[in-house]
Amino acid sequence: MLITGGAGFIGSRLSAALLRDGHRVDVLDVLHPQVHADGEWPADLSPAAGRHRVDVTDLDGVEDVLREVRPDVVVHLAAETGTGQSLTEASRHGRVNVVGTTTLLDAMTRTGHVPQHLLLASSRAVYGEGRWREQGGESFYAPVRGAAELALEHWDPIGPSGPDVPVTPEPQLAGTVEPRPASVYAATKLAQEHLLHAWASAMGVRLSVLRLQNVYGAGQSLANPYTGVLTVFAQEALAGNVLDVYEDGRILRDFVHVSDVVAAFRCALRREASGPLLVDIGSGQPTTLLEVATLIADLAGAPEPVVSGRYRLGDVRAACTDVSAAREQLGWAPETTLRSGADELIGWVRSSRAAHVPTRA
């Protein structure tokens, strides 16, 4: 089994779990300094995993790895992930996420090795602003929030009946809600899905796509300013800083613990059905940023968070899912509560040797 981006936050934990399951695991990773500040293989990557320091956009390098490993399963995690960063470094995100995916496919063709199963870590970002519902009325797709609207603090979308009618977001569900990317990053993740679906269908390869909500947990990069907001909050809170909560504090997210994400990938690997899989993975519990910031501050003994009204272009207002489809199709369900996961995260950050607090990008 080959895991691209396998030295990352999810990949390191997934490789350890798969090794315990008895799989042979090789990881391919470029060890980008934004994630791996020291340029070294992470200490939490199992020594039993084969290691290949290769850029996923390097066709010759990827081909060499495939010739050596000849994996029956490829888990594709390699990606640039900064939502806001993707708006100012679009070529970088397009090169790694899109060209990196086509490079992987070309390397398979050049080696004549077609795996049995491809698994992609996609993102809830593909839904963009998603689908909303007016109070007592119809559903509608919210347009992308532009700089002018955000500057005027127009946080929630306006439904067909006008600004006086309250609106609420609907759960993001594959096959029910259309993908409408609101950032370059989101567009590249949807492109990955389309590319792999087209290639896998033509080659007779089984494809599983997991659209992940906001993943968090111990081990997330402490040096990366584009890391998950819970990890940034934890570092700031433990430094005694007041947490800055963007917009009006009511940005909605679905935080899913990394252990539950790893479990979902293991379920997808064991799935007996041969058809393609497209499913959402989250906690199923929507939480506002103010709620989670208050929780983190309380656990860390930090001051009460402050809602600043600041915003970030490319961020969507609401993102959450319903896990019933994952239960039905994978026999999977999240097990880690937000409070227990946040408590674990705080403990890990406290015990880490990080010497600085990154600024949220």
Q: Please give the Cα distance from 126 to 122 (Å, whole number).
A: 8
Q: Please give the Cα distance from 340 to 233 (Å, whole number).
A: 16
Q: What value, to the nearest 5°, has the Cα angle with vertex 221 and ends 219 and 222?
A: 105
Cα separation values, 330 from 81, 265, 269, Å? 26, 9, 9
Which of 127, 185, 226, 311 is catalytic? The answer is 185
User: Checking DSSP bridges between strand 2-4 and strand 73-76, what pairing results, if any?
Assistant: parallel
E strand map for 239-354: 244-245, 252-257, 277-281, 286-288, 306-307
Is 216 assigned a catalytic role? no
Instruction: Please report where in the chains the tokens 């990890």 appear, as a residue.
Output: 231
Q: What are phi and psi of 278, to 5 degrees?
A: -135, 110
Under 8 Å between Cβ of 276 and 200: yes
SS3 assignment, position 300: helix
Which residue from 83, 79, 127 is spatially nearest to 321, judged by alpha carbons? 127
Joined tokens for residue 334: 């999240």
E strand map for 98-219: 117-123, 131-134, 139-141, 167-169, 206-212, 214-216
DSSP 3-state percent helix, strand, coil across the chain (nearest 5): 40, 15, 45
DSSP letters spanning 6-64: TTSHHHHHHHHHHHHTT---EEEE---TTTSTTSS--TTS-TTSEEEE--TT-HHHHHH
The kind and range of the H/E element at 105 are: helix 100-111
Under 8 Å between Cβ of 203 and 104: no
Active site residues: 185
